[in-house]
Structure 1
Amino acid sequence: MPHLVGTTAVITGGSEGLGYAIADAFATEGADLVLIARDQDKLERARQTLSCHGTTVRTLSLDLADHGAASTAARRVLALTDRVDTLVNNAATAHFSPLAQTSADTFDTMLHLNVRVPFLLAQALLPALTTGRGSIVNITSYWADSGGTDRPSAAYSATRGAINAMTRALAGELGPSGVRVNGIAPGAVRTLAYEREHIVPMSDEQRTEHDRRTGDAYPLGRFGAPREVAAAAAFLASPQAAWTTGTIMNVDGGPAVR
């Protein structure tokens, strides 16, 4: 039997990639959805395909990177539904550059979307989450605990470390009200966007080297699939995880153990 029937999940960045996979996993488990993303056309395509699961799918076209958009999004969510059982903070941005070449504006952009927006959405939707004794799932990254000279990540890693710390702190604060807060730290996930931006432009030789380096970096020898991270998110939102809060689940193929 599906584990999320009768619940409503709000998912940011839910129109494509990892966010869409999470939405699909939730809908498969019977959850109604509110998807928040920038592109109305992508949202409409997602709504049409996800509705095939027999659940209600509503969409909000907003750019959460805009100041004030998080508050607007929360108001519009509560105008669409009288319950929020799960908030999935998935929308984020990443810029990798050396310290000397990272501008204050770039850092502020990541800090805003990766940390401030999840905080503000959780704050605004807290009364509904408390009523439903719901949960928050923050999508973070293994970059919170790693870095390297090949891809300098000080600013991005700082924002991911911040969301991990906030996840644990909120778990302690909100636990007495019945709201659980967890995070998922994916490794590299082979989304369509990753394929378009990184794999397609490569030559055959570059792809061969890319696959070799992937095998060396990951004990399981490959990148992850979006559905594998999505399954973890659906589990954390379900009654099966009723005694799980404050955890950052590594769904990363194992580089953390090396």
Structure 2
Amino acid sequence: MASKPATMDFEGKVVLVTGASAGIGEAIALLFARRGAKLALVGRNESALRAVAERCRASGRDALPLVADLATDAGCENVAKLTLEHFGRLDVLVNNAGVGARTTLEKTDMEIFDQVFALNVRAVYNLTRLLAPALVATRGNVVNISSIAGSTTYVGCLPYSMSKAALDHFTNLTALELAPKGVRVNTVSPGLTASTFVQRLTGYTDEEYAAWLQQSERGIPLGRACAGHDVAAMVAHLASDASALVTGVNVPVDGGLRFNVVATDLVKKQVK
């Protein structure tokens, strides 16, 4: 029997994207909307989140904005409950929400560590746990947004890098656990990304950030920083039928930066 041709169309599918109010999450949401998906969008900035939802609706798609703090149990539980109540199903979970921290072992404190792990690891674990039955029912899939920081070593992002390494292993473990039930789990790892997320971490002004980004791009083999649409394209590919036999993989979207990472290139400002 001939198999059906692979498709990257999400017509009739329901996709949940966390951290959807800006940056990579916004780009992911808009791409899925253009490809036919109905969307549950999670974020903490209500006005920005609703603006993204309106842009998704402009593509003729249902978009449900859910304001929540996923670092709390109540936040995860409400997102799972409201998504399933509204749509009645879930086909793709994109765990994109995250927080960064520029610090070192000698300069950090446990509050920073707890904040990073609460959102970057615990929230992903909790939300995926809550929605796994719905994904099993649709033979859906999960795409986690990690970072090359999880698999490369440089000074200045200790708890963040640790959290992304944990997320990478979470992908491997859950991919193996859920494969017999028809659910795939994969990771996309951006490299240096042009975003307000990164600018907030550096503390640079717009002019300083533009200069820093231009300098940093010289160390990227393909010559430019990652953009939200680069990550979104890979997420959609992994979530689609075109990747029906792909699970437990970690795909870097970094222009080759992981081959050139050294502390002096990426950390030019003393961490706080």
Give your verdict on TM over 0.5: yes
Match of 1:232 among 218, 231, 234: 234
Do the aligned partners of residues 208 and 39 (structure 1) sit closer, same or farther apart at CA in structure 2, a change above 3 Å counting?
Answer: closer
Q: Which amino acid aligns with 2:255?
A: G
In structure 1, how many angstroms separate the alpha carbons of the residues matched to 2:212 and 2:50? 38
Instruction: Please say if 1:76 is aligned against 2:82.
Output: yes
Q: Which amino acid aligns with 2:216?
A: R
Q: Is the 8 A contact 2:71 2:119 kept in 1?
A: yes
1:109, distance to aligned residue in structure 2 (A):
1.1
Instruction: Please say if 1:113 is aligned against 2:119.
Output: yes
Instruction: Please say if 1:179 is aligned against 2:183.
Output: yes
Alignment of 1:23-172 (within 5 A): 23-149=29-155, 152-172=156-176
1:196, distance to aligned residue in structure 2 (A):
7.4
In structure 2, how many angstroms separate the alpha carbons of the residues matched to 1:174 and 1:246? 10
Gaps of 5+ in 1: none
- Write out per-residue CA displacement over residues 150-201 of structure 1, whole angstroms, 9 at most, x where no aligned residue: xx12211111000000101100000000000000000111125546776971
TM-score by length of 1: 0.92
In structure 2, how many angstroms separate the alpha carbons of the residues matched to 1:182 and 1:66? 24
Instruction: Please say if 1:13 is aligned against 2:19.
Output: yes
1:148, distance to aligned residue in structure 2 (A):
2.1
Q: Is the 8 A contact 1:147 1:153 kept in 2?
A: no
Q: Is the 8 A contact 1:187 1:223 kept in 2?
A: yes
1:38, distance to aligned residue in structure 2 (A):
0.8
Q: Which amino acid aligns with 2:134?
A: A
Match of 1:188 among 186, 192, 206: 192
Q: Percent identity?
A: 33
Q: Is the 8 A contact 2:8 2:242 kept in 1?
A: no
Residue 252 of structure 2: aligned partner: 250
Equivalences, count: 254
In structure 2, how many angstroms separate the alpha carbons of the residues matched to 1:245 and 1:209? 36
Q: Is the 8 A contact 1:147 1:154 kept in 2?
A: no
Q: Which amino acid aligns with 1:120?
A: N
Do the aligned partners of residues 207 and 114 (structure 1) sit closer, same or farther apart at CA in structure 2, a change above 3 Å counting?
Answer: closer
Q: CA RMSD in A?
A: 2.0
Gaps of 5+ in 2: 1-6, 261-272
Instruction: Please say if 1:213 is aligned against 2:219.
Output: no
TM-score by length of 2: 0.87
In structure 2, how many angstroms separate the alpha carbons of the residues matched to 1:203 and 1:10? 35
Instruction: Please say if 1:201 is aligned against 2:196.
Output: no
